[in-house]
Structure 1
Amino acid sequence: MSEGILRADAERNRERILAAAEEAFLERGAGVPLEEVAKRAKVGIGTLYRRFPTREALLAATSNERFMAVAETSRRRDIELDPGDALRRFLEELAKNTSVYQSLAASLGTVIQHGTAGCTAITAEGERLLRRAQASGVIRPDANFDDIIYVVSAIAIAVEKDSAPTTRIAHLVDLLFNGLCVR
């Protein structure tokens, strides 16, 4: 078998795994057994683990496009918002996108460390917005991006079973902001 055929098969397997994972995570949450994901993708569990050695790596890959979109939207919107409002909107969008899969929030900090383009973009944008808000004197200088991820995770966990998560997220981000703001 030629190398090109192997690469094409590997790419097809990767895409099937991602599609199956997206479907399973949406239906049953981020804690769905990976064996179920492999079965849905019609690949062996070894194939899944070769492509995605951890659950967090698979979650990062399935969240990649959403995270890229959050970062890109934030960069475009940043021009029209003051530093505090830009950071607030970013936090709301990140919390909403972290709430897509039940239980994703519990491992968000680990997921965004996986280096996918989306994870890198979300981290870079969050750090940029935080520094900008701190430089403008809106946000406390002792806050860091890890603090924000912990709080976004907590917000996303808090709204997992909420009937109106978008409204609740906005309220909880406001509460977070009150703690981050310089007094």
Structure 2
Amino acid sequence: MKNIIFLIVMAPALSFGQIKRNEKDKFTGKHILETEFVRIHSDKLGGMTDGGRLTKTLLLNFSKLDEFEFLRIKWATNKPLLSIPKNSEVIFLDADGHTYKFKTPSGIYARRGDGTVGSFGALSYGLDIFLIGDIPSIRDKPLTELRIYTDEGFFDFKLIKNSHKAISKQLNVFYDAIEGRVIKKAPSARYDDY
């Protein structure tokens, strides 16, 4: 009985491939679409701070504002002076050694709460990174690593094992929603449980 209750409680937190928002803005008439975030990298401390050191928890989703599509990464850094210049590269690497490059359309500066979703970590510094590029190119690719270029050089991340499957599922749901095949929103979920 306890196992059944646990599964019922945890099911929304473990679901991937969900649409968070799919609507028209009532003021501008623009179509807004975004998937739920999935965790693709996590510090051993799970995003908690460690005496002011740089933390490296990454969440990813796909977003669309009218005709503009973005790959979005939230990076919990706990570093207030970190920034990413305009046109900086973010590069994914797959298991076969192929790279997939994306660029930042504008400069990004660390701000409180930008590296997290919800209230957990809202006082910690982070970066909310919007990326443009060939988003469908990463569909069904065995992504293993990520490099982010900043004003302080680059940072490399090993992706959580099998996170490429969650990324591909999110991407498939994203394009299904664009094509009108998925219109429902996801149930509320805790993002810290991914």
How does the TM-score come out when normalised to structure 2? Answer: 0.28
| Larger Rg belongs to | 1
Q: Is the strand fraction higher in 1 or 2?
A: 2
Q: Is the helix fraction higher in 1 or 2?
A: 1
How does the TM-score come out when normalised to structure 1? Answer: 0.29
